């Protein structure tokens, strides 16, 4: 495959944009080579600036669960844009999207819209601190909650890729209020709650992790975590930026059967436009300005353009919940196909998968947390990534990212992907 124009565009971008990209993982640092510049996309396919067609397994990192340029979403955005894109005043569509989201997700009464997952998680933590009157939070190594200061402590994916899990610019003062536990290890959380008794506002977790590859919580871990938080008066925050409206209508809360205290959203909820949100029961949301004292605001928050994309997307998912089953079946089909090829070629790997999230780790140990995730063989991953790319398959360009399947993928696309792997497998050793 030829990437002549992508190369040239990347050269030029680097002169004006740090590293040539507006979000680090796009730069291909983890896998080497030239980032692909996209010209357009439709359904399951990306078309790059060199005219290559790629089968896409990241779907803009999750939002495009029904495929690129999905007609109902695109049409809603076009119609809305003609009537003005932002007013800084209330609009009816904000209530429409809020009402729909609240009806789909268990255990939430009210929702506040922001512009990104980062903003949602940052605001959720402030709300938790304001509500509990406590300062400290617990996060898990390898979980990513956006790039706000409190969370850039062993933050998974992008941050790990660059080998600086603790970013310069995050002050010691901020870092000291973020305590670090191990995923799937309840004892590590108990040790922290015991040592910091009465000081912890919230535990924030990716209920199914997707930023150290896909990692599923054990039943005893996630149930134990819920019980521990209730016992200690700590709010449990589910960061459902990835899992929300992807694992099912009600996200991970519904799939795992766990009620969180605050839930954050991003990605799918915006249908491909910049939207984040956080939600909780009435008594917690009542702490938020202007109803309560915890300040949070946004010039473009809830703008009609973004809301129209979100509303069209959630309406589709709400009216066609069979999409989630269809996606899970496609993901299983792909995973089984990949397993068969890797087994045939004697490749050592771990396959983690839930719903339409999956990841392949090239290691002989089960991947259950950050420590086991980083044991994957990255040299092998690079060859795998570039091999697949050369055969027209776009996988996440980092071993620490989950694949996100979209429902526009056909079984022919999945077969083509498996065939591509079969073709490159002999060269992987």
Per-residue string for binding with ligand PLP, 397-426, x by CB under 6 A? ------------------------------
Q: Show the binding pattern over residues 264-283: x = contacts ligand PLP (CB under 6 A), - = does not.
A: --x---------x-------
Q: Does 139 bind ligand PLP (CB under 6 A)?
A: no
Do 165 and 154 touch, CB atoms closer than 8 A?
A: yes
CB closer to ligand PLP out of 146 and 251? 146
Which of 3, 57, 144, 403 is the catalytic position? 144
Cα distances (angstroms) measured from residue 252 to each of 35, 141, 209, 306, 400 = 32, 19, 10, 24, 20
The contacts of residue 100 (CB under 8 Å, 6+ apart) are 311, 314, 315, 318
Beta-carbon contacts of 190 under 8 Å, excluding residues fewer than 6 positions away, are: 228
Alpha-carbon gap, residue 255 to 243, rounded angstroms: 10
Q: Judge whether 239 counts as a catalytic residue.
A: yes
144 assigned to active site? yes
* DSSP assignment letter at 46: E
CB 258 within 8 A of CB 327: no
> Which one of 43, 210, 244, 271 is in contact with ligand PLP (CB under 6 A)?
210
**Which region among 206-214, 298-306, 308-316, 413-421 touches ligand PLP (by CB under 6 A)?**
206-214
User: Which residue is closest to ligand PLP by CB?
Assistant: 117
- Of 50-58, 132-140, 236-244, 386-394, the window that binds ligand PLP (rule: CB under 6 A) is 236-244
DSSP 127-157: HHHHHHT--EEEEETT----SSGGG-SS--H
The count of residues interacting with ligand PLP (CB under 6 A) is: 15
Q: Would you give the binding string for ligand PLP spanning residues 98-127, x where CB under 6 A is met?
A: ------------------xxx--x------
Q: Locate all alpha helices (DSSP H) within 216-364, ordered by sequence.
A: 219-232, 251-256, 282-285, 304-319, 322-344
- Spot the catalytic one: 139, 267, 330, 403: 267
Cβ neighbours around 13 below 10 Å, total? 17
Catalytic residues: 144, 239, 267
> Which residues of the chain form contacts with ligand PLP (CB under 6 A)?
116-118, 121, 144-146, 206, 210-211, 239, 241-242, 266, 276
């Amino acid at each position: 495959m030829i990437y002549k124009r992508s190369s040239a565009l990347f050269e030029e971008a680097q002169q004006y944009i740090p590293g040539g990209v507006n979000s680090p993982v796009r730069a291909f640092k983890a896998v080497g080579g030239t980032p692909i510049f996209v010209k357009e996309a439709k359904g399951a396919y990306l078309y790059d600036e060199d005219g290559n067609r790629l089968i896409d397994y990241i779907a803009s990192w999750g939002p495009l669960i029904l495929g690129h340029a999905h007609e109902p979403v695109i049409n809603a955005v076009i119609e809305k844009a003609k009537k003005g894109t932002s007013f800084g005043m209330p609009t009816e569509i904000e209530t429409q999207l809020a009402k729909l989201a609240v009806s789909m997700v268990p255990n939430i009464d009210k929702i506040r819209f922001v512009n990104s997952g980062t903003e949602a998680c940052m605001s959720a933590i402030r709300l938790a601190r304001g509500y509990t009157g406590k300062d400290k939070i617990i996060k898990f190594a390898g979980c990513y909650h956006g790039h706000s200061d409190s969370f850039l402590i062993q933050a998974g994916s992008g941050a790990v890729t660059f080998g600086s899990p603790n970013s310069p610019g995050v002050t010691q003062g901020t870092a000291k209020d973020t305590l670090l536990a191990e995923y799937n290890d309840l004892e590590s959380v108990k040790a922290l709650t015991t040592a910091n008794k009465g000081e912890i506002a919230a535990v924030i977790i990716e209920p199914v992790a997707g930023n150290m590859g896909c990692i599923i919580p054990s039943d005893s871990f996630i149930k134990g975590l819920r019980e521990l938080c209730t016992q200690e008066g700590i709010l449990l925050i589910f960061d459902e930026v990835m899992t929300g409206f992807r694992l099912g209508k009600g996200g991970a809360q519904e799939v795992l059967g766990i009620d969180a205290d605050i839930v954050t959203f991003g990605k799918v909820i915006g249908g491909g436009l910049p939207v984040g949100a956080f939600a909780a029961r009435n008594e917690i949301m009542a702490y938020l300005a202007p109803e309560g004292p915890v300040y949070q605001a946004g010039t473009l928050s809830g703008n009609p353009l973004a809301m129209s994309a979100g509303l069209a997307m959630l309406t589709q998912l709400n009216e066609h919940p069979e999409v989630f089953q269809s996606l899970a079946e496609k993901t299983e089909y792909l995973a089984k196909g990949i397993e068969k090829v890797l087994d045939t070629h004697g490749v050592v790997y771990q396959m983690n998968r839930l719903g339409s999230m999956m990841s392949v780790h090239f290691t002989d140990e089960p991947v259950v947390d950050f420590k086991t995730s980083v044991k994957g063989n990255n040299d092998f991953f690079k060859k795998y990534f570039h091999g697949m790319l050369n055969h027209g398959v776009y996988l996440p360009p980092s071993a620490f990212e989950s694949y996100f399947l979209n429902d526009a993928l056909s079984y022919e696309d999945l077969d083509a992907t498996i065939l591509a792997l079969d073709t490159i497998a002999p060269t992987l050793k």
